[in-house]
Amino acid sequence: MKLHPIGVIHSPFTERAGMAIQPSGAAGVKGTVEVLPEYAEGLQDLDGFSHIILLYRFDRSAGYKLRVIPFMDTVPRGLFATRAPARPNHIGLSVVRLERVVGRVLHIDGVDILDQTPLLDIKPYVPAFDAPQECRTGWLEGLGGAARAKRSDERFA
């Protein structure tokens, strides 16, 4: 299975270190998604959605370990119980706010993605499909504020 980028994500974060220390998470962090011209037609109707799901490539992560110590934790955890970017398939997922669509550029808020990240897919975010109720969040619950913080793959890695 071979993937091809359909665009690129622009953000203020040129390296992971900067993302990791964002104290209040990604809320308020602005960025853009630039979709390649050949896919622009597929953006029609997207502006009706307040939030979108971005799938992208963790292109600055290589390899993986099956146990990782999350940034905010001190105990090794199973990789699939974390959002660490170094995974068997390096696919990242972020739910971001869609502020406006200008041609083939999406203006987004809540960006916890490195600049120049290759975009793989855009899906509309639909609470009825994507937001289950009454959730437990495992090891994150012991971290207090961590589980309530806006996500950052880096802090949560």
Residues in contact with a copy of itself by CB under 8 A are 1-6, 39, 41-51, 53, 55, 57, 66-67, 77-83, 87-91, 93, 95, 97, 110, 118, 120-132, 134-141, 147-151, 156
Closest contact distance (angstroms) between CB of 15 and a copy of itself is: 21
- Local structure of 26: helix, strand or coil: coil
Parallel, antiparallel, or unpaired: how do β-strands 117-124 and 67-68 relate? unpaired
Closest contact distance (angstroms) between CB of 130 and a copy of itself is: 5
Angstrom CA distances, 48 to 44, 51, 96, 146, 156, stand at: 9, 9, 14, 31, 30
Closest contact distance (angstroms) between CB of 63 and a copy of itself is: 13
Q: Which of 10, 140 has the CB closer to a copy of itself?
A: 140
Closest contact distance (angstroms) between CB of 45 and a copy of itself is: 4
Q: Which of 8, 53 has the CB closer to a copy of itself?
A: 53
Q: Which of 10, 149 has the CB closer to a copy of itself?
A: 149
Scored b (16 or more CB within 10 A) or e, 111-139 reads bbbbeebbbbebeebeeeeeeeeeeeeeb
Closest contact distance (angstroms) between CB of 14 and a copy of itself is: 21
Does residue 90 contact residue 114 with C-beta atoms inside 8 Å? Answer: no
Does residue 154 contact residue 16 with C-beta atoms inside 8 Å? Answer: yes
